[in-house]
Amino acid sequence: MTLTTHPETPIDPFADRRWRETSRAPHIEVAGVEVSFGAYTAITGIDLAIARGEFVSLIGHSGCGKSTLLNLMAGLGRPTQGTVQVEGQIVEGPAADRCMVFQHHGLLPWLSVYDNIYVAVDAARRSHTTDEKAARVERVLQAVRMWDHRTKKPGMLSGGQRQRVSVARAFAVAPSVLLLDEPFGAVDALTKRALHRELVELSSIVGTTETVVMVTHDIDEAIFLSDRIVVMTDGPSAGIREIVDVPIARPRTLSDVMHSPVYIELRDHLLSLLGDDEPR
């Protein structure tokens, strides 16, 4: 697409691309990927290179294959054809440097909120002292406003609270690649906005998560958080329809996005790529 920028405030689409300075090699590389389940081909012909430090969203209608693609990056599925590489290595299974927040929260139901996070931090940070790990757990629970609920089990929480704990756990572990499958799907609009702020804040507190890939159905969320938005076609045999650049410097506030001269055009373009309606 052609983006019209305001003549007095030209926007450099690459102004805040940390990755351009740090590395040319892709952090995640998906090449010629196809995934079939028996006779059903879910996705095909997927080529996508994601640079270190990028925030990339995957968007598309329900059932098009977003979770399937994200699962490949997490090592939770294998392509029928093609390759997925992270750090130049073929992904053959899950690893501590890649952490997934699932579409359905994935917390351990028998552990408290606190222990769900502590166990994950403990596994990922073997060399840290008990005090350091406890401090990390407290910091992320405070950031998502769940510290007061730390003794509860997941079954005692609301859907939005569970998702906040899942996001906090992922950031406490701070993997270099963070994979988010509709992390805010079950939260109301106001909580979602607060969580977006917290996600931006958490990433700056913890500081070791470099690259994020997020599945979302929410166009505004994708624009607010992403460097690039990958729009998928409908399945079967879904592919990439277009990769849309978000030329607004990160980190951004909601006001930066709303007042950006490209916001309306980006939004309209994404809506037209997805059909006339918001994605299901």
**Contacting residues toward ligand ATP, per CB under 6 A:** 37, 40, 42, 60, 62-68, 103, 235
Q: Shortest distance, CB of residue 145 to ligand ATP, whole angstroms?
A: 27
Q: Shortest distance, CB of residue 191 to ligand ATP, whole angstroms?
A: 20
Q: Is 216 in the site for Mg ion (CB under 5 A)?
A: no
Q: Which is nearer to ligand ATP, 91 or 202 (CB)?
A: 91
Q: Which is nearer to Mg ion, 51 or 219 (CB)?
A: 219
77 is in the binding site of which of Mg ion, ligand ATP, none (Cβ under 5 to 8 A by kind)? none
- Backbone dihedral angles phi then psi of residue 143, each to the nearest 5 degrees: -65, -35
Q: Shortest distance, CB of residue 269 to ligand ATP, whole angstroms?
A: 20
**Percent composition of the chain: helix, strand, coil (DSSP 3-state, to 5):** 35, 25, 40
DSSP 63: T
Tokens coding 122: 């403990």
Tokens coding 255: 């006001």
Q: Is 71 in the site for Mg ion (CB under 5 A)?
A: no
Q: Widest CA span of the chain, in angstroms?
A: 58
Omega into 236 within 30° of 0, i.e. cis? yes
Q: Shortest distance, CB of residue 40 to ligand ATP, whole angstroms?
A: 6
Q: Which is nearer to ligand ATP, 205 or 243 (CB)?
A: 243
Q: Shortest distance, CB of residue 278 to ligand ATP, whole angstroms?
A: 13
Q: Which is nearer to ligand ATP, 54 or 182 (CB)?
A: 182
Contact 240, 232 (CB under 8 A): yes
Contact 192, 167 (CB under 8 A): no
Q: Shortest distance, CB of residue 248 to Mg ion, whole angstroms?
A: 26
Contact 46, 243 (CB under 8 A): no
63 is in the binding site of which of ligand ATP, Mg ion, none (Cβ under 5 to 8 A by kind)? ligand ATP
The contact pattern for Mg ion, residues 161-200, with x = CB under 5 A and - = no contact, is ----------------------------------------
Residue among 162, 167, 185 nearest 62 (CA): 185
Residue among 47, 103, 43 nearest 74 (CA): 103
